[in-house]
Amino acid sequence: MNENEVKVTEELTKVRVIKFKVPYTFECTDYKEIDLSGLDNLTTDDLLQAETLYLRTGGTSINPETTILYSMILAHIASDKPLEFFGKLPAKEAMKIKREVYSFFYTRA
């Protein structure tokens, strides 16, 4: 990896860190941010796992990547946080995560 590739990778990692407006408490731990840089390492198997979970939990959109549910499932896989972590997030924080996941698929790096 050359120097420019390292800089791009470092910048993507910073971009994929979602900072919370107010610390979020989950299982007695306060979180100020969530690191979604794992999105860059997702595999097809991860996407298939996310799709299976999405369908099992009642997801029905023909474009699941546009839904909050699918975004939270991928954030769960990318961050290694339990899916339950995302269920009680304030709505605005969930939307930040959704935007990051959506942009991962549709924005060129």
Give the DSSP H or E segment for 24.
strand 17-26
The residue ranges of DSSP E strands in the chain, in sequence order, are 17-26, 29-35
DSSP line for 68-80: HHHHHHHHHHHH-
Q: Kindly report the CA angle at 101 between 99 and 106, in degrees rounded to 5?
A: 85
Q: Which portions of the chain are predicted below pLDDT 50? A: none
Cβ-contact 92, 61 below 8 angstroms:
no
pTM: 0.83
In this prediction, residue 15 carries a pLDDT of 74
Calpha distance 80→94 (Å, rounded):
16
